[in-house]
Structures are given as structure tokens and as C-alpha cells.
């Protein structure tokens, strides 16, 4: 098994004929993903790597039974793209686009909740389940190995480093999901933890957090009450100057919460094994997992 995407995932790419769309369609196909359609208005009848292009998501869904969308359109069009996909019956959306206005993200995340759909992102690298299951997004394919460790991360580049170190150690992954670093995101640490807890293939979970917000503190409390599988974590931003905003739009510290210190303390209290450096995650998983 895996979480959110699997062998039944059929992907439509919104923004398929642009440079990024064309490149990542090829990468996803090579990974084993069923990319069944692309959407670019006015381009119907064209193909990208053999994938047919449609004018609308509705037409793509009707012709291909697509159930998952990868949103690669520019920020100013992203809200409309997500609404279009949800209204066409798409049940899982991966929104890669960054710099989406706060209120736009708030609107489409809540509309997805109303529709009962899963949104991963925005401003995220996507999700991958190794073993010829599915990759939906822009994560580098070569770092993954099939296995039993679930990974959920707020940081794209740290995700790649940690997954690569796990794979080099022979520790495979069940699913890796990049949550995104914006203040408003769809899938949270808690959502991922609940999914991994129910996934029989996942035996341990790695969380990659960073300063800002309270997502890690909330996750720690949830782990204490609901998660029985071993959890490991790394928190980025330990050396950030006090009071300085760093990196992602979500990296905002306020009222004593959101600091690396507060997140580490919360995870330690929950019994989570913490790494001081990204590459130490593999050591911890190997020792305790």
C-alpha cells in the first residue's frame, strides 16, 4: 500500500505543454506513473510524450477517468485551475506552484475540504510512492527506493537529502510527501501521520520540519495521543538568528512558538527521536526503526 497515490492513480497535468510540464510528464512516466492526460486551453489534439492534451479538465476526466491532478500553472491562474479540477471530479490535487496569494490558497483548500478531496501543497515538490506506483510532482526520481519508511516534509531540498541518505543506507520508503512551506496548505503533518498510521506498508515515519508556525508542535501532541508507529524528525533552522524570518512564507515565529527550540522540546516530549543533522535520520531509523 501507500498513502494518497498508488497504482490506481491516473494523473492529468494542468499546464502540460509548458517547459516544466513537458519535462515532468516525461519524468513521471519514467517513474511508472499513469499520466493519462494533459490540459492546456487551445492545445487540444496535441500530445506530450504520447499523453493526449485537452482544453479542459472536464474533457480529460471524461475521456481518461483521471482522478488526480498535478497543477503546474502560474500563480495567478492556480485558484481557477484547482476549482476546475475539483468541479470535474478530481479527488487528489498536487499544487506545485509557489507565490499563490494567501486568500486564493485559503479558498481552494476549503473548497477541496467541502468536496472531500485531498490537496497536497501549494508550494511543494509533490508526492512519490516508489515501486512503480506513482510520482506526482517534481521530486527527483533517482533518490527513491521501495521500502517501509514514510516521509512527510515541509522542505523540498531537505526531503531530497534525507530520502537520498535513507536510500544509500538501504532503507526504502513507502511514500514521501512534500507538504509545502506556505502558511495555508492542504495536507498537514497530522493528515500524513494519520494516513501513515493506517498504511500497513509503513513501519516508521520521518517528519522534516522547520522553524515558523505551529505544525510541528501540533504534530507532536497528535503523536502522543494517536500514533503508535515510531516517529523520527529533523527540524531545520536551529541556527536562525532570534526574531528573524527565514525562508518559506510559513516560517514565521510568534509568541514563543515556532522556534526550533519549541519544536524540538515538543517532539522530545512526544518520544520522537530527533536528528541534529539531516543525514543522522538514517542512523536513527537504522538503530530504532
Pairing mode, strands 173-178 and 231-236: unpaired
Residues 6 or more apart whose CB falls under 8 angstroms from that of 129 comprise 2, 3, 5, 6, 135, 174, 175, 176
* Nearest Cα residue to 159 out of 131, 174, 180: 180
CA–CA distance, 149 with 263 (Å, rounded to integer): 22
Active site includes 248? Answer: yes
CA–CA distance, 76 with 147 (Å, rounded to integer): 38
What is the gyration radius of the CA atoms in the chain, in angstroms?
Answer: 18
Q: Is the separation of the CB atoms in 137 and 13 below 8 Å?
A: no
CA dist 85 to 89, 102, 172, 182, Å? 7, 19, 32, 21
Given the residues 24, 110, 226, 248, select the one marked as catalytic.
248
Strand partners, 37: 12
Nearest 5°: phi and psi at 112? -65, -40
Strand ranges in the chain using DSSP code E only, listed in sequence order: 10-14, 34-39, 47-48, 51-54, 68-71, 92-95, 118-120, 126-129, 134-137, 146-153, 173-178, 204-210, 231-236, 273-275
Strand partners, 149: 173, 204
* Nearest Cα residue to 25 out of 54, 17, 60: 17
- Enumerate the active-site residues: 248
Amino acid at each position: 500500500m501507500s498513502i494518497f497515490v498508488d497504482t490506481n492513480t491516473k494523473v492529468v497535468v494542468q499546464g502540460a505543454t509548458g517547459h516544466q510540464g513537458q519535462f515532468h510528464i516525461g519524468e513521471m512516466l519514467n517513474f511508472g506513473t499513469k499520466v493519462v492526460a494533459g490540459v492546456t486551453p487551445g492545445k487540444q489534439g496535441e500530445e506530450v510524450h504520447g499523453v493526449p492534451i485537452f482544453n479542459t479538465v472536464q474533457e480529460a476526466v471524461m475521456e481518461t477517468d483521471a482522478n488526480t491532478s498535478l497543477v503546474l500553472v502560474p500563480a495567478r491562474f492556480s485558484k481557477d485551475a484547482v476549482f476546475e479540477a475539483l468541479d470535474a471530479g478530481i479527488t487528489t490535487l498536487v499544487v506545485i506552484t509557489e507565490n499563490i496569494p494567501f486568500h486564493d490558497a485559503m479558498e481552494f483548500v476549503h473548497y477541496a475540504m467541502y468536496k472531500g478531496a485531498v490537496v497536497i501543497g501549494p508550494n511543494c515538490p509533490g508526492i512519490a510512492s516508489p515501486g512503480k506506483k506513482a510520482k506526482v510532482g517534481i521530486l527527483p526520481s533517482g533518490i527513491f527506493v521501495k521500502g517501509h519508511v514514510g516521509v512527510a516534509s515541509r522542505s523540498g531540498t531537505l526531503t531530497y537529502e534525507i530520502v537520498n541518505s535513507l536510500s544509500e543506507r538501504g532503507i526504502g520508503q513507502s511514500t514521501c510527501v512534500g507538504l509545502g512551506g506556505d502558511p495555508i496548505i492542504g495536507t498537514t503533518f497530522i493528515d500524513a501521520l494519520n494516513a501513515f498510521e493506517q498504511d500497513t506498508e509503513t513501519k516508521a515515519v520521518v517528519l522534516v520540519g522547520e522553524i515558523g508556525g505551529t505544525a510541528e508542535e501540533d504534530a507532536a501532541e497528535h503523536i502522543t495521543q494517536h500514533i503508535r508507529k515510531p516517529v523520527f524528525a529533523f527540524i531545520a533552522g536551529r541556527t536562525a538568528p532570534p526574531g528573524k524570518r527565514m525562508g518559506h512564507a510559513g516560517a514565521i515565529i510568534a509568541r514563543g512558538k515556532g522556534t526550533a527550540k519549541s519544536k524540538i522540546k515538543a517532539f522530545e516530549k512526544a518520544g520522537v527521536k530527533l536528528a541534529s543533522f539531516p543525514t543522522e535520520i538514517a542512523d536513527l531509523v537504522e538503530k530504532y526503526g
